[in-house]
Amino acid sequence: MVQLSDYRDERLRKLDEIKKRGINPYPAKSGRDTRIGNILENFDELNGQTVTIAGRIVAIRSFGKLAFVKIRDYTGEVQIFMKQDEDIPEKTFGTKDIKLLDSGDFIETTGLVGRSQTGEISVFSNSVRLLTKSLRPLPGRDGFNNKEERYRRRYVDMNVNLEVRERMVRRSKFWQATRDFMNAHGFIEINTPVLEHTTGGADATPFVTHMDALDEDFYLRISQELPLKRLLGAGFERVYDIGPRFRNEGVDDEHLPEHIAFESYSAYDDYEDGMELYEEMIKYVAKETWGTLEFDLGPDPNPDDGVAAPKFHVNLDQKWPRIKYADLLKEKYDVDVFNPDRKQLEQILRDDFEKSADRNDKAARKSLEHTLETASDARLIDHIWKLIRKTSAGPYWLIEEPLSLSPLAKTSEENPLVTQRFHPIIAGTEMGNGYSELNDPLDQLERFKEQQALRDAGDTEAQMLDEDFVEMLEYGMPPACGWGNSERNFWLLEGVSGREAVPFPIIKQK
């Protein structure tokens, strides 16, 4: 059986022969003047014209004095039609030398644009120039579908599975559309620090790193929230940041410890204004990225966490209803979020676990029991809400989350037990998070102290006491609406898991 090492040894032999001929197999520059896609799209204009193209060889066929070499660049594939010719440029390869080239090599050629006898658009040339000698053959599509191998060698995956590469293009469009929308609405993008002495803005366990220059530990940010709100205190009125954030949590279809996130803050707006603005933004970004506002989502036949999600048909092209958090919990589970029964909460979660695919998993059962023993009532209620969320098609806005779950949001003037917080729920997930921002320094300090007490009691996701942020509030921050969403929105509407939707997903080192 032929091994990969055999192919590599043969290519090394060819590489040595090429070098002995005085040919540099890795030159610094190409003379390309035309992209393949331009030829395909503008054939009538370029027919009979001389062009220089370059790309990776995807197929070679040689028949005596004829050779057909198909190459691919980023914009498309085209055939090079080669005929034997004794008079070829120095240090190039004609049909006699084509055996020294392999699939995966990068080459360039200069020739006439035309059609072959079979009608295929081609570039007619008598020679090609080597730009890069490939030492490893690319696998066939059918031979490269193992998820771990695809994630580990993403550069191979994107060559073999072109739809993965196209997904990264849409990912770029997704964030560009977000920027375009925000800039058009008067927002300024300002990048905020990744390293923080005190991290906050979300319920998440942070990563810790050490800076040698200061001999101090720092946290990798879990949110851009607090620095952006400091900018409101500094006099900015509409700001946003798009960049990486880090949360030391599990990896599944909806969570990656490192991911790109977007947060924005607008002074003198409240959560009612925010729902209007960000509903418009989500629709705009979806239309710009996918060209539609209707999606059929899930299930992924091979989800990363082994559990297929329900199937949803989602139509964003409507006015999204607004549903109160407490009403939903009462309707679905008869839970009173303002006067919870601890035993009832625990029983609901146990009952759900017994119906889940993890019911025979000892580690999962142990994790559940640990949660039931250590989590606050608010945290258990949040777990129950997630049971409702995962079966919700949406779109709708979830509003008025309890104060205990929203330490940075303003309370409702009508009901001080709830906050002016809003989530868009779409296809079983929260597509963002926003609220009327808390700007009362004394109120904020008390909430931070409550969170710090939970943290001191063992809740690693509770927020830290940030005295500098409270000090900023004492100088004064205008009323404002804040909003954030992560690239989970892209994963969801793209219909794939998080690891499928990023270029280089984190996986366990071999």
Residues 49 and 180 in one domain: no
- For helices 377-389 and 325-333, the axis angle rounded to 10 degrees is 80
Contacting residues for 285 by C-beta, under 8 A, at least 6 apart:
174, 177, 178, 181, 489
Unique residue bearing structure tokens 């030492």: 135
Question: Could you tell me if 203 and 251 lie in one domain?
Answer: yes
Res 303 pLDDT > 90: no
Cα separations in angstroms, 228 against 205, 237, 242, 273, 455? 20, 10, 11, 19, 24
In a domain, 464, yes or no: no
Stronger pLDDT, 108 or 450, i.e. the higher one: 108
Q: Tell me the pLDDT tens digit for each residue of 75-100.
A: 999 999 999 988 899 999 999 999 99
Would 91 be classed as within a structural domain? Answer: yes
Average pLDDT over residues 307-315: 76
- Structural domain tally of the chain? 2
The pLDDT assigned to 2 comes to 65
Residue that terminates a domain, selected from 138, 162, 184: 138
In a domain, 507, yes or no: no
170 and 242 together in one domain: yes
What is the extent of the structural domain holding 232? Answer: 151-320+478-501
Q: Please indicate, yes or no, if residue 397 is contained in any of the structural domains.
A: no
Residue of 286, 311, 233 whose CA lies nearest to 432: 286
Q: Which of 128-137, 387-396, 450-459 has the lowest mean pLDDT?
A: 450-459
Q: What confidence tens digit (pLDDT) does each residue in 410-433 have? A: 889 899 899 999 999 999 989 999
The reported pLDDT for the residue numbered 406 is: 77
Confidence of residue 301 (pLDDT cuts 50, 70, 90): very low
Distance of CA 135 to the CA centre of its chain: 31
Q: ω into residue 299 within 30 of 0, thus cis?
A: yes
181 with 241, same domain?
Answer: yes
156 and 262, same structural domain?
yes
| 50-63 vs 106-115, strand pairing mode | antiparallel
Domain boundary residue, one of 138, 172, 196: 138
Task: With respect to residue 256, please indicate whether it lies within any of the assigned structural domains.
Answer: yes
Residues 68 and 206 in one domain: no
Residue ending a domain, among 116, 138, 160, is 138
First-to-final CA distance of the chain: 26
| Amino acid 310: pLDDT | 62
Instruction: Find the CATH number of the domain harbouring 489.
Output: 3.30.930.10
By residue count, the chain amounts to 510
Total-model pTM:
0.89
Mean pLDDT over each residue of the chain, to the nearest integer: 92
Instruction: Give yes or no: residues 21 and 133 share one domain.
Output: yes
Residue 241 pairs in a beta bridge with 263
- Give per-residue pLDDT as tens, 440-453: 999 889 988 888 88
How many Cβ atoms are within 10 Å of 23's Cβ, its own excluded?
18
Whether the Cβ atoms of residue 273 and residue 418 lie closer than 8 Å to each other: no
What is the arithmetic mean of pLDDT over 110-118?
A: 96
Same domain, 110 and 173: no
Do residue 52 and residue 176 come from a single domain? no
In this prediction, what percent of the chain has a pLDDT beyond 90? 78
pLDDT at 153 over 60: yes
Statement to judge: residues 155 and 129 lie in one domain: no
Q: Are both 83 and 206 inside the same structural domain?
A: no
- What is the DSSP-derived secondary structure letter of residue 130? E
- Has residue 247 been placed in a domain? yes
CB 117 within 8 A of CB 82: no
Lowest mean pLDDT among 284-288, 380-384, 448-452: 448-452
Residues 82 and 160 in one domain: no
Residue 241 lies in a domain: yes
Alpha helices in 335-487 (DSSP H): 342-354, 362-374, 377-389, 441-456, 467-475
- What CATH number did the domain enclosing 60 receive? 2.40.50.140
The verdict on residue 493 lying in a domain is: yes
The phi-psi region of residue 146 (left if phi > 0; otherwise alpha if psi is between -120 and 50; otherwise beta) is beta
pLDDT of 464 above 70: yes
Contact call for residues 418 and 325 (beta carbons, < 8 A): yes
Beta strands 76-83; 121-125: pairing state: parallel
Separation of alpha carbons 480 and 233, rounded Å: 11
